[in-house]
Structure 1
Amino acid sequence: MTEMVYGAAPVRDGEPILPKWWRTIDMWSMSCILILFTIGLLLGLAASPPLAAKNGFQAFHYVQRQAFFGCFALIAMMLTSMMTPVMVRRLAVLGFLVTFVALLFLPFFGTDFGKGATRWYSLGFASLQPSEFLKPGFVVVAAWMLAAGQELNGPPGRMWSFILCIMIVFMLALQPDFGQACLVLFGWGVMYFVAGAPMLLLVGMAGLVVLAGTLAYSSSEHFARRIDGFLSPDVDPTTQLGYATNAIREGGLFGVGVGEGEVKWSLPDAHTDFIIAVAAEEYGLILVLVIIALYTVVVVRSLFRLVRERDPFIRLAGTGLACTFGVQAMINMGVAVRLLPAKGMTLPFVSYGGSSVIASGIALGMLLAFTRTRPQGEISDLLGRSRSR
């Protein structure tokens, strides 16, 4: 209907899927994602052998597993990016329902692997973290609700999406996983802002977040310990944060050399949460800046393409996915340099983790599908016609 009313760019009838996908995909974003995955494997070669030796595995056991899961992630990304927005929405709704149920049963059947937070299902040969797969599904479902709420006589999508967001945040906080809870709340807040939320309401929500953080600090020893460690003027050199801070300082501009870093022998999470410390120590600030630039290109290019999008659902869902992806990377690196409290959050497509890399592949596949060039024209065309009337 939109194409009939506003006009459309010519469509190549009968064009095969692959050539059409290649012609319409954002090649810059996809190239940056592939480079990030390659950098992740490179850093895994440096960071994971000490842990593999400690656990009795071959030196590159974790690198091989990351490559295996990464191949699945890239295939999932490519296939998802070939879908239409309607197909992506259906996939997201189905995935969200499955992972939401999995999150509900996590306190009863999940495990913490000795880390103090019940976030995973143990499958024997691997582990599964439902919250990683829940995020992209929730973003798309919430965007669908918000877009539907903007329609004439539409449902109360804003209220429904808010209730759903609060339920998820509450379940994540019970694990406890405050990092993922904040990320889900942030993703919803960005979409709500883009959908036209009043600033006063957003300020009120920020106040509620501060109040919830205060209550969590007083009631959760896990949360309080991390906040106290972040606020302390002195960093204990024997903690993960102390090791990471020292490694970044030692790396300097060009690093100490490939394989010469020491932090990987001290940090149990050197290949996951603190992978950026390994990059800074062995390759220096240069590689860190390259990694930051790659994430920036993906987010900024996606947002620029989404600004021209007419469909409010695509615009909201794509914005939520892009901002969530970028903020997760920012949180991971911010923790390593002590700009943020420890969150236990991976660096997308770079850190080791089957759930993380596959979920990131699906999320970025959805983002690439939403930012593809479509034949309905751009929102600027519509605005130009409105001014001329």
Structure 2
Amino acid sequence: MSQAPRLHFAGTAALDRARALRPLIESEAEAGEALGRLTEPVVAALRDAGLFGVWVPVPLGGAELSPRELIAVFEELSYADPSTGWVVMASALESGAAGAYLGDDAVERIFQGGRMPIFAGQGTRPGTAVRKDGGFRLSGRWSFASGMPHAQYAHSLGAIEGTEETRIFITPIDDVTKLGNWDVLGLCATGSIDYAIDDVFVPESQTHAFDEDEPLRGGAIYRLGILDLALIGHSAWALGIGRRLLDELIRHVGARAGRPGQIAASDAFHSGFARAEAAYRAARALIHETWDDTERTLDAGRRLGVRQETMVRLALNHATSTVAEVARFVYTSGGTSALRDGLIQRLFRDAHAGAAHITSGPRFLQECGRELAGLAAGESWRIFELQPPETK
């Protein structure tokens, strides 16, 4: 019997490269906001630093970071600029899943010579796929394809006609019609445009089951499946923007300390800041506690139990809602400076845009509560909800 895969631990090299890019990312953030996408200097620097490949399996030339190593990288990038962190964590997830789950023919084409292409797409609302010899004909329209302006491949969810099966389809960007309708309140620089695919043939090797959790390449991290993998990136994003919000408020208040009538002298502000700092740190501790436990389970060759699946969902949901509350406190405390266009206002908008993601919504929270309260005996997680065992 073959030995269960272990986690791969890569160390801090990727984090060090991400940290070194902070001055560039920060300096380009305002321009990216205006463009509605990351600027070319930022994309080029991220690519040169290998950060689009942090989730790609080692056999394909990727870094294949462990969950907590990924959290550290995406937290750093999201601190520098939430849109940058969002694009990299979304694209890296999609390229990592492609590298782990696609067929050999597709992987040879896509990752030829160790290249790390940029992926973008959407994996929640499916298009339609019709089986054809050796593959599928895919059609549909998808929303919120973060990083699409920079992508070489699209990652799209499709439902197989006549069945209940859903799969992820990887198509070259030339097969995509970019709809370009990106006019949003927050995360403006993610370029998360809508896109369409019209009756495009996709070879079967360029697809994988949506709920695939047994990798063809790479180690134990890919046994999480694509949804649990996504929770890693979104958790890190919340931690990065939450810390930046609090740090910007510290700078804002400190620069005005000693002036008459400033908030720095307010006892109410002092208490409010203490509560906000405690809430953020508690949410961060829960993220690290749950993913530390997850790493130990995966590295021991085991799969997550139902309670562990609940906790990684709850930790993300709690962190995102906490950061939204922190954002409201920071925005209110910033006074007229936050009201005007600037970094605090942008962080406030980005925090609330990120909190609208499906993984941070009420459905997850309700299901977590049901399981924690002992009301889901015998049920297991299937993507977004708990379900009883399938009956034959």
The structure with the greater share of residues assigned to strand is 2
**Highest RCO, 1 vs 2 (Cα 8 Å, sep ≥ 6):** 1
Q: Please confirm whether the aligned pair reaches a TM-score higher than 0.5, indicating the same fold.
A: no
Question: So what's the TM-score if we normalise by structure 1?
Answer: 0.30
Q: Could you state the TM-score of these two structures normalised by the residue count of structure 2?
A: 0.30
Considering fraction of residues, name the structure with more helix.
1
